Amino acid sequence: MCDWLPDLVCLPQCGGDWNLYLDVIYRAFRTDFLDTAPAMSGTRCGLRHPELIEGKEGTFWHIISEGLTEEERTPDLRRCERIRWPRPIIESHGSDRICCWRYKRNGDSRISIALRDFTYLLVLVDRGSYVLLLTAFPVERDRRREKLRREYESSVKS
Protein backbone atom coordinates (compact mmCIF):
# COMPACT_ATOMS: atom_id res chain seq x y z
CA MET A 1 0.00 0.00 0.00
CA CYS A 2 2.81 2.44 0.80
CA ASP A 3 5.44 1.30 -1.67
CA TRP A 4 5.85 4.97 -2.66
CA LEU A 5 7.22 5.87 0.79
CA PRO A 6 10.91 5.60 1.69
CA ASP A 7 12.10 2.54 3.58
CA LEU A 8 12.05 2.63 7.36
CA VAL A 9 15.26 3.74 9.08
CA CYS A 10 15.68 1.17 11.86
CA LEU A 11 17.91 1.13 14.93
CA PRO A 12 19.47 -2.28 14.06
CA GLN A 13 20.81 -0.68 10.84
CA CYS A 14 23.04 1.35 13.18
CA GLY A 15 24.15 -1.69 15.15
CA GLY A 16 21.75 -0.81 17.97
CA ASP A 17 23.83 2.30 18.77
CA TRP A 18 21.29 4.94 19.86
CA ASN A 19 23.67 7.91 19.43
CA LEU A 20 24.60 6.85 15.90
CA TYR A 21 20.91 6.22 15.12
CA LEU A 22 19.97 9.66 16.42
CA ASP A 23 22.62 11.20 14.13
CA VAL A 24 21.32 9.22 11.14
CA ILE A 25 17.66 10.15 11.63
CA TYR A 26 18.54 13.78 12.36
CA ARG A 27 20.54 13.99 9.12
CA ALA A 28 17.47 12.62 7.29
CA PHE A 29 15.30 15.27 8.98
CA ARG A 30 17.79 18.03 8.05
CA THR A 31 17.84 16.86 4.44
CA ASP A 32 14.04 16.75 4.21
CA PHE A 33 13.17 19.95 6.11
CA LEU A 34 16.17 22.24 6.54
CA ASP A 35 18.36 21.84 3.44
CA THR A 36 15.28 22.45 1.28
CA ALA A 37 11.71 23.00 2.44
CA PRO A 38 8.98 20.72 1.11
CA ALA A 39 5.88 22.22 -0.46
CA MET A 40 2.25 21.24 -0.11
CA SER A 41 0.66 21.93 -3.51
CA GLY A 42 3.04 24.85 -4.00
CA THR A 43 2.73 26.19 -0.44
CA ARG A 44 6.02 26.20 1.47
CA CYS A 45 6.19 24.01 4.58
CA GLY A 46 8.26 25.19 7.53
CA LEU A 47 8.71 23.99 11.11
CA ARG A 48 6.32 24.86 13.95
CA HIS A 49 9.03 24.35 16.58
CA PRO A 50 12.28 25.75 15.09
CA GLU A 51 13.92 26.38 18.49
CA LEU A 52 16.89 24.15 19.25
CA ILE A 53 16.75 21.55 22.00
CA GLU A 54 20.03 19.71 22.53
CA GLY A 55 21.17 21.16 19.19
CA LYS A 56 18.17 19.85 17.23
CA GLU A 57 14.94 21.55 16.19
CA GLY A 58 11.89 21.10 18.41
CA THR A 59 9.89 19.72 15.49
CA PHE A 60 12.45 16.94 15.09
CA TRP A 61 12.01 15.95 18.73
CA HIS A 62 8.24 16.17 18.36
CA ILE A 63 8.25 13.85 15.35
CA ILE A 64 10.43 11.18 16.99
CA SER A 65 9.00 11.19 20.51
CA GLU A 66 5.72 10.88 22.38
CA GLY A 67 4.36 12.21 25.65
CA LEU A 68 1.76 14.52 27.10
CA THR A 69 4.11 17.40 27.95
CA GLU A 70 7.15 18.63 26.04
CA GLU A 71 9.37 18.08 29.09
CA GLU A 72 8.34 14.44 29.47
CA ARG A 73 8.44 13.26 25.84
CA THR A 74 10.44 10.09 25.20
CA PRO A 75 11.75 8.70 21.90
CA ASP A 76 9.45 6.23 20.14
CA LEU A 77 11.14 3.85 17.72
CA ARG A 78 8.06 3.57 15.46
CA ARG A 79 8.14 7.34 15.03
CA CYS A 80 11.91 7.37 14.54
CA GLU A 81 11.75 4.66 11.86
CA ARG A 82 9.37 6.78 9.78
CA ILE A 83 11.53 9.92 9.80
CA ARG A 84 11.68 9.92 5.97
CA TRP A 85 7.87 9.74 5.53
CA PRO A 86 6.62 13.27 6.34
CA ARG A 87 8.15 15.04 3.33
CA PRO A 88 6.80 12.71 0.62
CA ILE A 89 3.40 12.69 2.34
CA ILE A 90 3.32 16.51 2.38
CA GLU A 91 4.39 16.57 -1.25
CA SER A 92 1.60 14.10 -2.12
CA HIS A 93 -1.03 16.67 -1.17
CA GLY A 94 -3.71 16.69 -3.83
CA SER A 95 -3.07 13.09 -4.89
CA ASP A 96 -5.10 9.97 -4.18
CA ARG A 97 -2.25 8.59 -2.03
CA ILE A 98 -3.41 10.49 1.04
CA CYS A 99 -6.47 11.86 2.82
CA CYS A 100 -6.36 15.52 3.77
CA TRP A 101 -8.79 17.61 5.81
CA ARG A 102 -8.89 20.96 7.60
CA TYR A 103 -10.26 21.87 11.03
CA LYS A 104 -9.92 24.43 13.81
CA ARG A 105 -8.15 23.71 17.09
CA ASN A 106 -7.17 26.18 19.79
CA GLY A 107 -7.71 29.04 17.34
CA ASP A 108 -5.39 27.49 14.76
CA SER A 109 -6.39 26.42 11.29
CA ARG A 110 -5.01 22.90 11.13
CA ILE A 111 -4.51 20.39 8.37
CA SER A 112 -4.40 16.64 8.92
CA ILE A 113 -2.83 14.46 6.26
CA ALA A 114 -3.19 10.70 6.65
CA LEU A 115 -2.27 7.67 4.64
CA ARG A 116 -5.35 6.16 2.97
CA ASP A 117 -5.59 3.50 5.69
CA PHE A 118 -5.12 6.12 8.45
CA THR A 119 -2.10 4.30 9.92
CA TYR A 120 0.11 7.41 9.77
CA LEU A 121 -0.85 11.03 10.40
CA LEU A 122 0.74 14.44 9.94
CA VAL A 123 -0.62 17.59 11.58
CA LEU A 124 0.20 20.98 10.09
CA VAL A 125 -0.81 24.54 10.95
CA ASP A 126 -2.02 26.73 8.09
CA ARG A 127 -0.58 30.25 8.19
CA GLY A 128 -2.07 31.33 4.86
CA SER A 129 0.98 31.81 2.65
CA TYR A 130 2.80 28.87 4.29
CA VAL A 131 2.16 25.83 6.49
CA LEU A 132 4.06 24.58 9.52
CA LEU A 133 4.66 20.94 10.36
CA LEU A 134 3.54 20.34 13.92
CA THR A 135 3.93 16.59 14.31
CA ALA A 136 3.74 13.21 12.58
CA PHE A 137 3.12 9.76 14.02
CA PRO A 138 1.88 6.23 13.36
CA VAL A 139 -1.72 5.67 14.42
CA GLU A 140 -1.71 2.34 16.19
CA ARG A 141 -5.20 1.99 17.64
CA ASP A 142 -8.10 0.89 15.45
CA ARG A 143 -10.50 3.22 17.31
CA ARG A 144 -8.26 6.21 16.62
CA ARG A 145 -7.95 5.28 12.94
CA GLU A 146 -11.73 4.98 12.69
CA LYS A 147 -12.18 8.38 14.38
CA LEU A 148 -9.78 9.94 11.86
CA ARG A 149 -11.64 8.27 9.00
CA ARG A 150 -14.94 9.75 10.25
CA GLU A 151 -13.35 13.22 10.58
CA TYR A 152 -12.06 12.98 7.03
CA GLU A 153 -15.35 11.72 5.61
CA SER A 154 -17.26 14.43 7.46
CA SER A 155 -14.94 17.12 6.04
CA VAL A 156 -15.41 15.79 2.49
CA LYS A 157 -19.22 15.95 2.84
CA SER A 158 -19.27 19.56 4.10
Q: Is residue 6 situated within a structural domain?
A: no
Q: Is residue 3 situated within a structural domain?
A: no
Q: Is residue 64 situated within a structural domain?
A: yes
- pTM for this one? 0.93
- Integer Cα distance of 158 and 153 in angstroms: 9
**106-128: average pLDDT:** 95
pLDDT of residue 1: 55
The percentage of the chain sitting over the pLDDT mark of 90, rounded to a whole number, equals: 83
Rg (CA), the chain: 15
pLDDT of residue 17: 98
Average pLDDT, the chain: 93
Give the 3-state secondary structure of residue 111: strand
- pLDDT tens readout for residues 54-91: 899 999 999 999 988 777 889 999 999 999 999 999 99
Instruction: Write out the residue range of the structural domain in which residue 67 sits.
Output: 11-157
- The amino acid occupying position 143 is R
Q: Is residue 36 situated within a structural domain?
A: yes
Q: How many domains, in total, are found in the chain?
A: 1
**90-115: average pLDDT:** 94
Q: What are the residues whose beta carbons fall under 8 Å from the beta carbon of 54, sequence distance 6 or more?
A: 61
SS3 per-residue string spanning 20-79:
HHHHHHHHHHHHHHHHCCCEECCEEEEECCCCEECCEEHHHHHHHEECCCHHHCEECHHH
pLDDT of residue 2: 82
